[in-house]
A = this chain, B = another copy of it.
């Protein structure tokens, strides 16, 4: 783990971000997300609230064995001790210690109204709660950060008390006091004034941090204003996730600090900004929250130019209509009304996959057209390189590889009995391969699983190479109607042969048909990749 940098980028996607409506992170999700955040180069990853949230206790336990972070330090989040007890005796404080993280972040009340009405205790007792809990954790060797909850509202109502709370935290040994605009109602000038005052008051006794929410649409700006006023610790969530309108979008904050204010804030040897777009999208796959196309820096529309005015100018000089080169954040410039850009992407992608299409303009045209049509019908080739490659192969070689001919398939799912009784799922596949007609049946925990087993058995008879292939990931999305007709289902699957993995896509009116397409594409690509000839 790296030593604490001068500027803290503190990510709370796994804790505050998880409070967003529609986000429900399992322990496995969090264990998959943390490495992505680490790869971006954040300094701290707040993993959850152990003790209070059972899944989070589990996360920290497994993180100790399974997470190997290169740049970030893991932080456990929790509250100051309860009124009327001691930090040592409070089981939730114990749980924070048991998480065994290098950093512990405590949320502490700094608004006297919350102390009195929500906690139902007194001002002095709250200060003691802060002091006790911080001191205990420091004694136990933890780096302690304190989130001064409702700081700005509290400061407006009773500045003296809010500052006492902040001072108590610093005096007890907190390394950072992060000022929280918990209700999100602040505007930048107000934030700047309050942060400047705190920065003055603390005089270096602790770092000043900022934790903004977007209820006024100013979370990013509020965070930047805080930094301007002396904060050196910024909190936020990737993609602006979070309760209500979300936390400050940490990606925008970091991009602005690095690109517009020339401050190096991400870990030096991490992926950094050039990986930001890819990481943002990978994170949205895990949270299963549709990416917001207009999101600054990483949105698919962020550098997409439509107006004719802009298009002709961009052809002269992209800088004329872009505030930066999109490659700086790993994004692409996209021309929405011009098939010149479409061809360029396809050619580049083809080259990436080993096909030189520069001498085959006819193929390039055909592939580009097919990709556009397919995408208009629900396909996405972004996360399905193997399907894209099969499309290319089909155009380059004139036809798809013919490993088998499908005669028919069927799935049956049935349940006898009421609630609580299990269902059975079975599938039958009939196909021709290797000169034979093959009929198989498969069972599974669902129709797709059963179909996969039946297909695998059928093909495995002629192509034993296939037995090494394993389905390792499966994503479903119901897409809104494309042309005013019924919704379509899109399936993305990832298959592995133990050495490499590949992704295929399938689209259809229902899950089964979509899955069949993705499964057969996967088998075909896998066999071709292994150099197997059709039998």
**Beta-carbon contact of B20 and A301 below 8 Å:** yes
Tell me which residues from 5 to 47 in chain A have a Cβ below 8 Å from any Cβ of chain B: 18-22, 24, 26, 28-29
**Beta-carbon contact of B19 and A306 below 8 Å:** yes
Neighbouring B residues of A183 by C-beta, 8 Å: 321-323
**Beta-carbon contact of A447 and B512 below 8 Å:** yes
**Beta-carbon contact of B382 and A477 below 8 Å:** no
Copies of this chain, how many? 2
A 233-271 to B, binary, CB cutoff 8 A, 1 in contact else 0 = 000000010111110010011011000110000000000
**Beta-carbon contact of A516 and B310 below 8 Å:** no
Neighbouring B residues of A418 by C-beta, 8 Å: 405-407
A225 at the interface (CB under 8 A from B): yes
Neighbouring B residues of A312 by C-beta, 8 Å: 118
A479 at the interface (CB under 8 A from B): yes
**Beta-carbon contact of B323 and A243 below 8 Å:** no
A388 at the interface (CB under 8 A from B): no
**Beta-carbon contact of A244 and B415 below 8 Å:** no
Q: Once the chains are docked, how many angstroms separate the CA of A422 from the CA of B114?
A: 61
Neighbouring B residues of A55 by C-beta, 8 Å: 339, 376
In this complex, how many residues of chain A approach chain B with their Cβ under 8 Å: the count is 133
Q: Once the chains are docked, how many angstroms separate the CA of A372 from the CA of B107?
A: 23
A224 at the interface (CB under 8 A from B): yes
Q: Once the chains are docked, how many angstroms separate the CA of A477 from the CA of B478?
A: 9
Q: Once the chains are docked, how many angstroms separate the CA of A221 from the CA of B489?
A: 39
Interface stretch of the complex, out of A64-72, A167-175, A288-296, A353-361? A288-296
A 313-355 to B, binary, CB cutoff 8 A, 1 in contact else 0 = 1001100111110000000000010111000000000000000
20 CB < 8 A contacts A-B = A21-B382, A24-B375, A24-B479, A54-B339, A107-B309, A114-B313, A183-B322, A216-B296, A217-B220, A218-B218, A218-B221, A245-B295, A405-B418, A407-B416, A408-B416, A446-B509, A448-B511, A449-B510, A474-B478, A476-B476
Q: Which 9 A-B pairs have the closest CB atoms?
A: A446-B510, A185-B323, A221-B221, A217-B252, A410-B414, A28-B480, A217-B220, A183-B323, A118-B313
